[in-house]
């Protein structure tokens, strides 16, 4: 039972942060697509901005790893 709970906690840690990242990236992606349509020279900056919310899922992944490997 304890193992199930540990796995569930790890799944929650990465799942919820992945949903949060997806939501943030959807908003930034939509705004970024509009920006690139008007100013194509901003493509590089928009790609970087799009990568910023991935911190959440990476931190979620780290937490999940620590839960599983504790």
Partner 1 sequence: MIVRMSKLEIAGPKELLLEVLEIIREEGIFHPEPKAGDFLGSERRRELHRLVPDEATTAERIFLENLRQVTCEVIAILPPLENGESRLQPLPLLEGFAAGAGEQLSFCRQQDERRALLLREREQLGEYAVLLETIGTLLWDGEPGSGLEFIAITLKDPSLAERLGEMLGRLTGGELCMSTARGRDGTLVGLIAAPPQHSARVRELLSDERLPEFPFPAELRNLPLPERLARIGARIDAVERELGGVTASMETFARQWLPLYRRVERWVVERLGLLSAAGVVQETGLCFVILGWGRSDAVPGLTRRLGERFGGTVAVEELRLMEQDLEMVPVTLVNPPYLRPFELFTRLLPLPRYTSWDPTPFIGFFFPLFFAMMLGDAGHGLVLATASLLILRRWREGALADGARIMLVSAGCAILFGLLFGEFFGEAGGEILGLEPLLPRRSRAVIPMLVFSLALGGFHVILGLLLGTITALRRRQPREAAGKAATIGLLLCLAALAAGLALPSPWLLARPILATAGALIPLLFLFGGLLAPLELLKHVGNVVSYARIMAIGLGSALLANAANQLAGLSGDLILGAVAAIVLHCVAIVLGAFAPAIHALRLHFVEFFSKFVEHGGREFRPLRK
d(CA 42, CA 58): 25
Closest CB to partner 1 among residues 3, 70: 70
CB atoms under 10 Å from CB of 6, counted, come to: 13
Q: Does 61 bind partner 1 (CB under 8 A)?
A: yes
d(CA 31, CA 62): 29
Closest CB to partner 1 among residues 1, 40: 40
Closest CB to partner 1 among residues 2, 70: 70
d(CA 40, CA 35): 7
Residues lying near partner 1 in the complex (CB under 8 A) are found at: 44-45, 47-48, 50-52, 54-55, 58-59, 61-62, 65, 69
């Amino acid at each position: 039972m304890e193992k199930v709970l540990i796995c569930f906690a790890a799944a929650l840690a990465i799942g919820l942060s992945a949903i949060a990242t997806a939501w943030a990236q959807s908003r930034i992606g939509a705004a970024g697509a509009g920006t690139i349509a008007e100013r194509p020279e901003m493509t590089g900056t928009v790609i970087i901005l799009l990568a910023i919310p991935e911190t959440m899922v990476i931190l979620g992944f780290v937490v999940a790893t620590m839960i599983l490997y504790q």
